[in-house]
C-alpha cells in the first residue's frame, strides 16, 4: 500500500508545531500502525532527519502507552483497538492519514506525538489504592464476592490509562478514567475503607491537574480502546454524593 501521512511535528514543549506530510511507500497491510511509523522513521533516519517521536511499549494493547489521534479519532477508527493493534489493512490504499497527539491542557506535548500523561498518575495516587493487612498471605477467595460485582469491578479495571477518553472529550475531562479507577474499588469489600476519601480526593486531583468537567457527551466511551462504559461515571457521581451522607 502507498499512503500519505500528515504527522504533527513539534520539537519540544515550547515549540509551535505543525503538520508535516510524509509519503509511506510499500506498506504491508499486515503491519500495525506503529510498525508502519517505524518504517517511515527508518527512512527518515537514513536521510539524516529527525524521526517521528511516539509513545509505545507492549504493542499488544495492554499497557496504554501508545497514544495517537488518527484521522480525528483517538487510536484510529477501529473500535476497541489501541493504535498499536490497529493494522494497515484497516486503511484504503492511497489514503491520507492525519496523525496528531492527545490534545489537552493537562497533557503538555513533549515532542511530536508524545504527551506527558503524569497528571493521570497524580489522580491515581490521590486515592487509587486500598488498605490491606500485612503478614501472612490470606487464602484465595476468603472474601466471597458475588459474580456480578466481581464482573463490574473487572470491567472498570480494564482501563489501561492511555488517556484516549481525555483526548476524545470536548472538555478534556478525565471523568471516564477517574470513574473507572473509583468504581473498580468502590464495589468491592476491600475498597470500602477508603471509599469516601477516594472519590473526593481523586475528583479533586482530577480538577487540580487541569482536566475539564464532564458534561455527558459520552465521546470517551466510544473512543476507549477497552470499551469502558459511561455507567462508571454514574457510579462515580453516586459515590461522590454518598460521600456527603
* Options 65, 70, 180, 214; binder of ligand FES; rule CB under 6 A: 65
Angle at 137 between CA 134 and CA 138, to 5 degrees: 105
Nearest to 175 by CA among 101, 120, 113: 120
Cross-strand bridge partners of residue 72: none
Binding partner at 66 among ligand FES, other proteins, none, C-beta below 5 to 8 Å by kind: ligand FES
What's the CA gap between 58 and 67, in Å, rounded? 12
Instruction: Provide the pairing of β-strand 96-100 with 3-9.
Output: parallel
Within positions 169 to 198, which residues make up the interface with other proteins, using CB under 8 A?
Answer: 169-173
* Options 36, 127, 198, 219; binder of other proteins; rule CB under 8 A: 219
What's the CA gap between 183 and 232, in Å, rounded? 6
72 near other proteins, rule: CB under 8 A: yes
59 near ligand FES, rule: CB under 6 A: yes
What's the CA gap between 105 and 23, in Å, rounded? 31
78 near other proteins, rule: CB under 8 A: no
* Stretch near other proteins under the rule CB under 8 A, chosen from 24-32, 68-76, 117-125, 127-135: 68-76
In the complex, minimum distance from the CB of residue 225 to ligand FES, in angstroms, rounded to a whole number? 7
Within positions 80 to 109, which residues make up the interface with ligand FES, using CB under 6 A?
Answer: 82, 84
- Cα of 12 vs its chain's centroid, Å: 22
Residue 6, class by beta-carbon neighbours within 10 Å (0-12 exposed, 13-18 middle, 19+ buried)? middle
And the C-alpha cell for 108? 503538555
Binding partner at 64 among ligand FES, other proteins, none, C-beta below 5 to 8 Å by kind: ligand FES
Binding partner at 73 among other proteins, ligand FES, none, C-beta below 5 to 8 Å by kind: other proteins
Give the 3-state secondary structure of residue 238: helix
Give the DSSP letter of residue 195: H
Binding partner at 231 among other proteins, ligand FES, none, C-beta below 5 to 8 Å by kind: other proteins
64 near ligand FES, rule: CB under 6 A: yes
Cross-strand bridge partners of residue 19: 8
Query: What residues make contact with other proteins under the rule CB under 8 A?
Result: 6, 8, 19, 69, 71-73, 77, 98, 100, 103-106, 168-173, 210-213, 215-219, 221-223, 229-231, 233-241
Query: What residues make contact with ligand FES under the rule CB under 6 A?
Result: 56-59, 61-66, 82, 84
Amino acid at each position: 500500500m502507498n499512503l500519505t501521512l500528515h504527522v504533527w511535528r513539534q520539537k519540544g514543549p515550547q515549540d509551535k508545531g505543525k503538520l508535516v506530510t510524509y509519503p509511506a511507500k510499500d506498506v504491508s497491510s499486515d503491519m500495525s500502525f506503529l510498525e508502519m511509523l517505524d518504517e517511515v522513521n527508518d527512512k527518515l533516519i537514513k536521510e539524516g532527519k529527525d524521526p517521528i517521536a511516539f509513545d509505545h511499549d507492549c504493542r499488544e494493547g495492554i499497557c496504554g502507552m501508545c497514544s495517537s489521534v488518527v484521522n480525528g479519532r483517538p487510536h484510529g477508527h477501529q473500535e476497541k483497538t489501541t493504535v498499536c493493534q490497529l493494522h494497515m489493512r484497516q486503511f484504503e490504499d492511497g489514503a491520507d492519514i492525519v496523525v496528531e497527539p492527545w490534545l489537552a491542557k493537562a497533557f503538555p506535548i513533549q515532542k511530536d506525538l508524545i504527551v506527558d500523561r503524569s497528571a493521570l498518575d497524580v489522580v491515581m495516587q490521590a486515592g487509587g489504592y486500598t488498605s490491606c493487612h500485612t503478614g501472612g498471605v490470606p487464602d484465595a477467595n476468603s472474601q466471597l464476592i458475588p459474580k456480578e460485582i466481581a464482573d463490574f469491578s473487572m470491567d472498570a479495571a480494564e482501563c489501561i490509562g492511555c488517556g484516549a477518553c481525555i483526548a476524545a472529550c470536548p472538555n478534556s475531562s478525565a471523568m471516564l478514567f477517574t470513574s473507572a479507577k473509583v468504581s473498580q474499588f468502590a464495589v468491592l469489600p476491600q475498597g470500602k475503607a477508603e471509599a469516601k476519601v477516594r472519590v473526593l480526593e481523586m475528583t479533586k486531583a482530577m480538577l487540580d491537574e487541569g482536566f475539564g468537567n464532564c458534561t455527558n457527551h459520552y465521546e470517551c466511551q466510544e473512543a476507549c480502546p477497552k470499551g469502558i462504559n459511561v455507567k462508571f461515571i454514574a457510579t462515580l457521581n453516586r459515590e461522590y454524593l454518598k460521600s456527603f451522607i
